[in-house]
Amino acid sequence: MPSPLVPAPLAFDADGVLWSPDYRDVYHSRHGGPEQARHVFLQGNDLPARWRGRERFVILETGFGAGLNFLTTWAAWRADPQACSRLYFVSLEKHPFRCADLRQAQARWPEFAPLAAELHAAWPLPVPGIHRLWLNDGRLSLTLVLGDAQQELRRLMLAVDAFYLDGFAPDKNPELWTPDICKGIARLAAPGATLATWSVAGHLRAALAACEFALEKRPGFAGKRQMLAGRYLSRKPHPYPAPAPAERHAIVIGAGVAGTSVADGLAGQDWRVTLLEARRAPGEGASGNIAGVMRPLPSVDDNFLARLTRAGFLAARAHLQKLTAAGLPVRWDACGALQLARDAAHEATQIKAVRALDMPEEFLRHLDRSEASALLGWPVARGGWFFPSGGWVQPFSLCAANLLRHPEHIHLRCNTPVSAISRADGMWRAEDANGKVIAHAPHLVMASGVEAPRFAPFSWLPQRSARGQVTWLSAEMTPPLDLLLCGQGYVTPLVDGVRVVGASYQLEDVETEPRPADHRENLSKLEALLPGFGARVPLEGLRGRVGFRPMSPDRLPIVGAVPYAPDAPDRPRPSRHPPVYPGLWCVQGFGSRGIVWSALMADFLVSRMTGAPLPLPYDLTRALAPERFY
């Protein structure tokens, strides 16, 4: 269970320096914040020289604070014509500022105003976990880890080139300068990694030296006589090696929300993507609904499903906002989502979850029966969870927008069914029904939904197909409804004059045409949610759509490198982990949560493929791995 986040209060001392009333300390030197950041953290890590000529460079900071070190580093990187192509900045923060307070704090450094404005536009809600912000046209990644540094450092997966050890003074905030923190950064240190900090406390130097950092004292900034710099000398193999791929070309099979999200992510990393789709256009399969649901699924124990839907929901919102800001034709509305309780016991559980999680109200709160009825404009029997920033998304418009961000890197081929895949001479080959090679590349990503198990390397995965039918209601059939309502079914606001009600669920049912019986089932779910709301809906002549959703046994996505089948004749000898096919990946098993998971899972998979810092902690990456079904 994550500890509730307590945002930092905005305060200044008598000299006008940003100040923490809780820790009784300033956020930066009184002699100049940007100057201190350049002297201690950039020069202390021999930057910008060390990032020059590199494809990517990774920095980890132990305290984001007001973001001054980040803005200073961003400005230096942008100004350096020889800078690395991509900069990954990872920062931990236990008490983040709310966006309005961050904006006011950073207004004191007008030299960073354009960068700060871009940061503010992407600033996340104060919700625990990992938040990925893509800035500077996607070439700068800020990964904000909101939570306790001692806990979060143990769960991160990345190889760090430079460390900024920052935070309030050791006597004010001792938990940020412990031997455990030093062990945590040593675990993540890439060979030859450097560190810098303004603190030269003896216990810190001893702890870092015990973790195989060679240390030196350098002249400090302004009134401070000394600062500390160090270099990691250990030759131990890194637990998360991140080699850059030799050739950046991948085949992606399937152009639904999963496949187009991966194609967009890879193209944003300057990969060439060959996207193969059996249908006439992207998003005509399970992603073809008029509107789909965007909301998380909390739980009292904050289990894997709850954590992944929360992270996925937040990533989806951020991705949609980016697409909209770029003027791309994605259709969505954060109209709010209400999930009504099934019965009194379920409502008690919902209330318990809200209290246990203690999330900010702009993310989640509970509405009682009268509040829910007033919000809906229709009487209901019980209250439920309200997600003010939830809503609906049109999946096929998301697919189209994904393919328009980097069109020069994506070769889309529709009406191109793939019958088999094989590997020869270091290349994966997609073949048609006659065995002809359609495309070849060193990497192949399977994102074909329910079709994946018919390909030999995926036949052992326990993914099943679930038929889902939705019912379309025209505007005159129901009273107004301006938000997304969920329960044991769901009903959307009007989208293109249609209200979507759904959805049925039948495993391994292959019927492609809508059935009257399933329309009646959907209407019964609507009646249970909003008694009498569908009284004018005719029982005959209803229209709708059928889709087939790829379901995993544990309801979690199946994302990552693909292991050999346990009985595969060409399977290498097993080692500590099941052996995986070189260059074969999958993003599968989304079930009915394709919208919620597509952006996060694409970011996760692309990070795995490129060796970038992962946007998920270790335990969640294990929960997604295909090898969990061995």
Q: Same structural domain for residues 363 and 429?
A: no
Average pLDDT over residues 247-260: 97
pLDDT of 575 strictly over 80: no
Average pLDDT over residues 244-256: 92
Q: Are 32 and 63 in contact (CB under 8 A)?
A: no
Q: In whole angstroms, how large is the CA radius of gyration of the chain?
A: 26
Q: What are phi and psi of 524, to 5 degrees?
A: -70, -35
Q: Same structural domain for residues 431 and 566?
A: yes
Q: Which one of 521, 549, 577 terminates a domain?
A: 549
Q: Specify if 292 maps to a domain.
A: no
List, as one string, the DSSP characters of 538-598.
Answer: -SSS-EEEEEEEEE-TTSS-EEEEEEPPTT-TTPPPP-SS--EEEEEEEEE--TT-HHHHH
Q: Are 551 and 464 in contact (CB under 8 A)?
A: yes
Q: Are 484 and 375 in contact (CB under 8 A)?
A: no
Number of domains in the chain: 3
> HSE of 296 in the Cβ direction (CA atoms, 13 Å)?
30
Average pLDDT over residues 557-565: 95
Q: Same structural domain for residues 414 and 343?
A: no
Across the chain, mean pLDDT equals: 95
Task: Please give the single-letter amino acid code of residue 394.
Answer: Q
| pTM for this predicted structure | 0.96
Count of residues in the chain: 630
CATH number at residue 122: 3.40.50.150
pLDDT of 241 strictly over 80: no
Q: Same structural domain for residues 423 and 532?
A: no
Average pLDDT over residues 130-148: 97
Q: Same structural domain for residues 444 and 484?
A: no
The 3-state secondary structure of 101-144, one letter per residue: HHHHHHCCCHHHHHHHHHHHHHCCCCCCEEEEEEECCCCEEEEE
> CA 428: distance to chain centroid?
28
For residue 261, the model assigns a pLDDT of 98
Per-residue pLDDT of 308-357, as tens digits, reads 999 999 999 999 999 999 999 999 999 999 999 999 999 999 999 999 99
Per-residue pLDDT of 418-448, as tens digits, reads 999 999 999 999 999 999 999 999 999 999 9
Q: Same structural domain for residues 419 and 535?
A: no
Strands, sheet with 129-135, edge to edge from the N-terminal-most edge strand: 129-135, 140-146, 86-93, 56-61, 160-164, 189-197, 226-232, 213-219
CATH number at residue 366: 3.30.9.10
Task: In whole angstroms, give the CA distance from residue 316 to residue 318.
Answer: 5
Q: Which one of 526, 549, 572 terminates a domain?
A: 549
Q: Specify if 273 maps to a domain.
A: yes
Q: Are 191 and 34 in contact (CB under 8 A)?
A: no
pLDDT of 546 strictly over 70: yes
For residue 566, the model assigns a pLDDT of 80
* % of the chain beyond a pLDDT of 90: 91
Range of the domain at 482: 337-391+464-549
Task: In whole angstroms, give the CA distance from residue 445 to residue 438.
Answer: 15
Average pLDDT over residues 58-85: 97
Category of 62 on φ-ψ map: left (φ > 0), alpha (ψ -120 to 50) or beta: alpha
Average pLDDT over residues 203-225: 94
Q: Same structural domain for residues 528 and 444?
A: no
Task: In whole angstroms, give the CA distance from residue 205 to residue 213.
Answer: 9
Which helix (H) or strand (E) element contains residue 333? strand 332-333
Task: Count Cβ atoms below 10 Å from residue 2 Cβ, excluding itself.
Answer: 18
Task: In whole angstroms, give the CA distance from residue 131 to residue 128.
Answer: 9
pLDDT of 244 strictly over 80: no
Which residue, 295, 308, 306, 298, is CA-closest to 336?
Answer: 295
Q: Same structural domain for residues 586 and 574?
A: yes
For residue 330, the model assigns a pLDDT of 97
Q: Are 59 and 185 in contact (CB under 8 A)?
A: no
Category of 235 on φ-ψ map: left (φ > 0), alpha (ψ -120 to 50) or beta: alpha
Q: Specify if 323 maps to a domain.
A: no
Q: How confident is the model at residue 574 (pLDDT cuts 50, 70, 90)?
A: low
Placement of tokens 């006439």 in the chain: 280
pLDDT of 64 strictly over 70: yes
Which residue, 353, 365, 301, 252, is CA-closest to 601?
Answer: 252
CATH number at residue 558: 3.50.50.60
Q: Specify if 498 maps to a domain.
A: yes
Q: Which one of 531, 549, 567 terminates a domain?
A: 549
Q: Specify if 300 maps to a domain.
A: no
Q: Same structural domain for residues 112 and 158?
A: yes
Q: Specify if 7 maps to a domain.
A: no
Task: In whole angstroms, give the CA distance from residue 51 to residue 68.
Answer: 20
Per-residue pLDDT of 6-53, as tens digits, reads 999 999 998 889 999 999 999 888 888 899 999 999 999 999 999 999
Task: In whole angstroms, give the CA distance from residue 102 to residue 91.
Answer: 15
**In sequence order, which residues have a C-beta less than 8 Å from that of residue 81 and are 6 or more positions away?**
none
Q: Specify if 237 maps to a domain.
A: no
Average pLDDT over residues 537-552: 94
Q: Same structural domain for residues 409 and 522?
A: no
Task: Please give the single-letter amino acid code of residue 14.
Answer: A
Q: Same structural domain for residues 472 and 377?
A: yes
Average pLDDT over residues 203-214: 97
Which among 10-19, 408-417, 453-462, 503-512 has the top mean pLDDT? 408-417
Q: Specify if 66 maps to a domain.
A: yes
Average pLDDT over residues 514-523: 96
Q: Are 375 and 367 in contact (CB under 8 A)?
A: yes
Q: Same structural domain for residues 127 and 265?
A: no
Task: In whole angstroms, give the CA distance from residue 241 to residue 40.
Answer: 28
Q: Give the burial string for 505-538 (b: 16+ CB within 10 Å, else e).
A: bbeebeeeebbeebbebbbebbeebbeebbeebe
Task: In whole angstroms, give the CA distance from residue 34 to residue 448.
Answer: 49
Q: How confident is the model at residue 630 (pLDDT cuts 50, 70, 90)?
A: confident
* % of the chain beyond a pLDDT of 70: 99
Per-residue pLDDT of 496-513, as tens digits, reads 999 999 999 999 999 999
